[in-house]
Structure 1
């Protein structure tokens, strides 16, 4: 089975599915159609998964509730525990997902 087919069997995070069926489809489409490099796909999937976990821990009901202040707070926290290049990569993944 190829990587794209394997990826599509994994469910979207709860915060994504809470935003509706279209959001869940677009989420999976982002990882399967937008990111071609498997290493980038893996790194971005981890970054977005960590961001979704961070949002869940703070009680956000869905990705539809995310605003720039949430992303700024997340990036600020990351800056205390991760290197600048890692923070930039994670921010790039989040930005690309919301595009």
Structure 2
């Protein structure tokens, strides 16, 4: 599947800022040496990534557990909100059924201020 042009740019900026653009045999995402911010050649493990995401979500005030389905639902919902078609979202998510893809569609979960204002107080 092709990548979004912004992702290409972000990865180019990241590799340039980290000075790792020419290191093709080393991992792209790496651990740091302590809290120094200095990158090692050790790969960032999946468990490290999840801890980092959850730590940052908590710092942002998000108390809901975040997992891979959170990202999948966010991506599918954003795609559909921007005029995407369910059939294409199904292909991108590699789902056999559009019904499965529909489970990740969170558009109906959002309640607009206009709807709330319908309540007569």
Higher helix share: 1
Larger Rg: 2
Same fold at TM > 0.5: no
Higher strand share: 2
TM-score (normalised: structure 2): 0.26
Q: Give the structure, 1 or 2, with the largest relative contact order (CA under 8 Å, sep 6 or more).
A: 1
TM-score (normalised: structure 1): 0.29
